[in-house]
């Protein structure tokens, strides 16, 4: 129960913080869409903290531009999706996931719902910003 509470609180804080804040370190860098976002582990972050799910595992995704697919961990379950990407536009479709019974499924479904709504991206430094039009939905960081 404690892990669920921590995960839920962290995921909610991530959504609020990412949607409402600007990181001063990345504000100086020019957003890019001409860099590869493939074959890297992208970890969901709030400011600089990585969001963790069940068993303290990082919420993450891996994009494979060659196969037009995405896979990752959404807090409790693993997921797969199709990817469409071109000139700064990006979308995730046909999202499927494993069906583990977890106490934090509402937060996981919120995360996957946000992924479904993404239609634009920018890379700023080592961060991947996913947007719905001009609204920042999710921020991921790679190492």
Q: Are 116 and 94 in contact (CB under 8 A)?
A: no
* Maximum C-alpha span of the chain: 43
pLDDT of residue 53: 86
The string of pLDDT tens digits covering residues 75-129 is 999 999 999 998 889 999 999 999 988 887 888 999 999 999 999 999 999 999 9
pTM of the model: 0.77
| pLDDT-wise least confident of 8-22, 23-37, 38-52 | 8-22
How many Å apart are CA 40 and CA 122, to the nearest integer?
A: 15
pLDDT of residue 130: 96
Helix (H, G, I), strand (E, B) or coil at 102: coil
Region 59-77: mean pLDDT is 95
Residue 12 pLDDT exceeds 90? no
How many Å apart are CA 31 and CA 37, to the nearest integer?
A: 13
41 forms beta bridges with 62
How many Å apart are CA 65 and CA 68, to the nearest integer?
A: 5
């Amino acid at each position: 129960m404690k892990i669920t509470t921590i995960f839920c609180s962290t995921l909610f804080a991530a959504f609020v913080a990412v949607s409402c804040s600007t990181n001063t370190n990345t504000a100086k860098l020019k957003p890019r869409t001409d860099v590869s976002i493939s074959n890297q582990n992208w970890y969901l972050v709030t400011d600089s903290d990585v969001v963790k799910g069940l068993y303290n595992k990082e919420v993450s995704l891996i994009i494979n531009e060659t196969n037009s697919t995405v896979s990752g961990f959404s807090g409790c379950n693993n997921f797969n999706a199709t990817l469409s990407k071109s000139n700064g536009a990006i979308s995730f479709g046909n999202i499927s996931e494993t069906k583990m019974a977890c106490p934090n499924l509402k937060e996981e479904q919120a995360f996957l719902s946000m992924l479904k709504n993404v239609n634009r991206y920018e890379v700023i430094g080592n961060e991947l910003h996913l947007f719905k039009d001009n609204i920042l939905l999710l921020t991921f960081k790679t190492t």
